[in-house]
Amino acid sequence: MACLHDHSCEDHDCSSNWSLYKHIDLSKVSALNEAVPGSVKSVFKAWEQRLDSSGEHLESNEGDPELLVYVPFTSDVKIKSISIIGGADGTSPSKMRVFTNRDGIDFSDAQSMQAVQEWDLVENLQGVLEYQTRYAKFQNVASITLHFPDNFGGDTSQIHYIGFKGEATQLKRDVVATIVYELRPNPSDHKTEAERNTPFHMWNGE
According to DSSP, residue 24 is labeled B
CA distance 60 to 47: 23
Label residue 186 by pLDDT band (50, 70, 90): low
Please check the confidence at residue 101 and state whether its pLDDT lies above 80.
yes
The mean pLDDT value for 172-190 works out to: 51
28's CB contacts (< 8 A; 6+ apart) are: 70, 72
Comparison of pLDDT for 80 and 174, the residue scoring more: 80
Does 15-172 carry CATH code 3.40.50.1370?
no
Please check the confidence at residue 34 and state whether its pLDDT lies above 60.
yes
CA torsion 31-37-43-49 (nearest 10°) is 160
Encode burial over 130-160: b for 16+ CB neighbours within 10 A, e otherwise.
bbebeeeebeebbbbbbbbbebbebebbbbb
Give residue-wise pLDDT tens across range 53-96. 888 999 999 999 999 999 999 999 999 999 999 999 999 999 99
CA distance 110 to 97: 8
Give the pLDDT score at 184: 54
CA distance 174 to 177: 5
